[in-house]
Structure 1
Amino acid sequence: MHRPGSLVPKPPRPAAPRVNHVGFSVRCLESSIRLWCECFGATLVRQGEMSGSFLSHVTGAPDTNVKMAIVEIDGFPVELLEYALEAEAPRSGGYRQGVAHLAFDVDDIEVTLGSVSLHGWQAQGEVQTLPAVEKKGTKVMYIVGPDGCVVELMQPPERSLE
């Protein structure tokens, strides 16, 4: 019970995040790669495809396939994502064409989710762990704020002390 003059305990505050990358949902991956590389001097780092329920859980997008590419400008990664959605699929959240998201590395994704929810941000699915890529073991989740801003939370796997 809260008594007048006593301090109300605050929920745990997450450690400050570190910027990981910025991502853009694009209409055509190939033309976007050309733009970023030919006009902005970016270097294509890698490209591939993702699909399945894992992707739906992370982004909130209905079951979909995504063509993706990572380009780098001055050492900073930019993620380009072309979602293949059914015509009747809702176009809300981080998978709408033209939407950008900023990705943060966080120390504890669950604490961060709890903290941001107090400010009206909502998870777009469930926390997922990357199974097999260069970031294997990283926990990921998209969140959307009350104003429509999209953030990707990424909790890198714990490092063993060797």
Structure 2
Amino acid sequence: MTQPQKSPVLRTIHTGLTVSSLDHAIAFWCGVMGFELSARKNLGAGPANENIVGVVGADIEIALVTAPGGHQIELLEYKGPVDRKVYQPRSCDVGSAHLTFAVSDLDLMLKQVETAGWMRLGIPQTTPTGTRVIYVRGPEGHTIEFMQLAVAPTPAEAT
């Protein structure tokens, strides 16, 4: 067996999601998901942003929202270029990605995200360990997995 190569990766900083409207995205992530708006700023256009993201004409405004537990989501609204597209892959399509969140009440979470225009991709399933799981997809194609983790019984409950 070969030894794994030492990686220079230190930690996760954030997960980035490109959105059509920062205002709508902030309303969902803060109002529905319970995240906190940490920062919002206009990065503008120019060669620095073009070189970072690999898009000629990139003109970007961002917001950072922080999840309970501390993980940050960077929401990016590209004001340019004008020929941007909405990418809506299926879960099986190469390049598709999803975020996973543990929730205390899966049914309540589903009700809240469905009210906000997101849709279930199936019916919640219970794993052999008792965890309830489902994917939901937003109007712009982002996919979230929700997991209501099984609670291990206390020794008194197990008997």
TM-score, with normalisation over the residues of structure 2? 0.47
Q: Which has the larger radius of gyration?
A: 2
Question: Which structure would you say has the larger RCO, counting Cα contacts within 8 Å and 6 or more residues apart?
Answer: 1
